[in-house]
């Protein structure tokens, strides 16, 4: 089963979380969007959070198909706004290229892995494969220990800088460990190796916002956010000076404001329907 929250009424927005967290990533943003008159669809990706953990399907074609299936289950046929954080940015890209830009009213890439993470001959600003291999080795040897360290870097948390509380780190760890080991490893391989450059050709004419921290150590801005801007020239790029990867927490107020203002020209209160749903998940 694929779990998703369905909050509010109005123009639909799909919020796609990053690795290795859950849809709860977007609770604060979703509240602001619902208050601004939006309907928020907030999935837990297959293998993560409250969704089932099948063995197969941890590739971006399947992830995009899962989003389409959730929209069908929710009865949403009109164009949707897409917000993708980190690996969720890849779902924004692949959904748009597979479903067509007429299915998408707007797109937001936040700390996104798009256009490509891994370094290659024609992508020198990417992360060396050796570093990605080392991450895989650390995960398989001690997944829980790895997540503890990973989340500190994710939020820029250290001796001199603690932009979030220890409770936020604990919450992230709890969410990360809800995922199965197989989904965790397979999804990491997908976001680390997928080339989204062909997908970005579908964004011509799609209103697009890019948000990225300049001190993102997990997904460095040079090879992602700034490159996405080059490949989608009409997009708006907002750089969060000195911010790490997890800007939805470290820069929460600004992040919510930037996304909400982009997706709606004026805030308008509405009575919110809040519910959660699940649909069958194929293996």
**Would residue 234 show up in a list of annotated catalytic residues for this protein?**
no
Structural domain boundaries enclosing 63: 2-279
Give me the catalytic one of 24, 245, 251, 258. 245
Give me the catalytic one of 44, 66, 216, 251. 216
**Would residue 86 show up in a list of annotated catalytic residues for this protein?**
yes
What local confidence, expressed as pLDDT, does residue 269 receive? 35
Running DSSP on this structure, what letter comes out for residue 83?
E
Give me the catalytic one of 11, 24, 51, 86. 86
What local confidence, expressed as pLDDT, does residue 274 receive? 60
What local confidence, expressed as pLDDT, does residue 276 receive? 77
Residue 282, phi then psi, degrees to nearest 5: -80, 150
Q: How many domains does the chain have?
A: 1
Q: Is the pTM of this model over 0.85?
A: yes
What local confidence, expressed as pLDDT, does residue 265 receive? 60
Instruction: Note down pLDDT in tens along the chain; length 283 residues.
Output: 999 999 999 999 999 999 999 999 999 999 999 999 999 999 999 999 999 999 999 999 999 999 999 999 999 999 999 999 999 999 999 999 999 999 999 999 999 999 999 999 999 988 899 999 999 999 999 999 999 999 999 999 987 789 999 999 999 999 999 999 999 999 999 999 999 999 999 999 999 999 999 999 999 999 999 999 999 999 999 999 999 999 999 999 999 999 999 998 633 333 456 677 787 775 5
The sheet with strand 38-43 has its strands ordered as 236-240, 208-213, 104-110, 80-85, 11-16, 38-43, 2-7, 274-279
The domain that contains 152 carries what CATH number?
A: 3.40.50.1820
Instruction: Identify the CA nearest to 108 among candidates 243, 236, 247, 6.
Output: 236
Instruction: Identify the CA nearest to 51 among candidates 10, 82, 15, 22.
Output: 22
What residue has token string 């990533």?
25
Q: Is 86 left (phi over 0), alpha (psi -120 to 50) or beta?
A: left
Q: Residue 127 in contact with residue 232, Cβ under 8 Å?
A: no
In 3-state terms, what secondary structure has residue 239?
strand
């Amino acid at each position: 089963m694929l779990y998703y929250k369905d909050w509010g009424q109005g123009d639909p927005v799909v919020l796609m979380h990053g690795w290795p967290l859950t849809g709860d990533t977007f609770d604060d943003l979703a509240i602001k969007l619902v208050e601004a008159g939006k309907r928020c669809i907030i999935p837990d990706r297959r293998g993560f959070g409250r969704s089932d953990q099948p063995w197969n399907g941890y590739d971006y074609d399947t992830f995009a198909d899962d989003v389409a299936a959730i929209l069908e289950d929710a009865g949403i046929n009109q164009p949707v706004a897409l917000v993708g954080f980190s690996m969720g940015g890849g779902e924004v890209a692949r959904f748009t290229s597979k479903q067509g830009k007429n299915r998408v009213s707007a797109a937001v890439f936040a700390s996104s892995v798009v256009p490509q993470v891994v370094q290659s001959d024609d992508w020198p600003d990417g992360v060396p494969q050796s570093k990605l291999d080392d991450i895989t080795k650390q995960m398989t040897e001690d997944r829980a220990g790895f997540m503890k360290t990973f989340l500190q870097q994710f939020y820029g948390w250290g001796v001199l800088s603690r932009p979030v509380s220890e409770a936020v780190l604990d919450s992230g760890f709890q969410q990360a460990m809800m995922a199965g080991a197989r989904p965790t490893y397979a999804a990491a391989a997908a976001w680390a190796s997928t080339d989204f450059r062909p997908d970005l050709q579908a964004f011509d004419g799609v209103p697009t916002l890019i948000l990225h921290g300049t001190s993102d150590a997990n997904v460095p801005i040079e090879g992602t956010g700034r490159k996405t801007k080059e490949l989608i020239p009409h997009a708006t790029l907002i750089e969060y000076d000195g911010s790490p990867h997890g800007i939805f927490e470290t820069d929460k107020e600004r992040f919510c404001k930037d996304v909400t203002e982009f997706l709606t020209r004026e805030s308008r209160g509405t009575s919110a329907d809040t519910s959660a749903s699940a649909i069958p998940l194929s293996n």
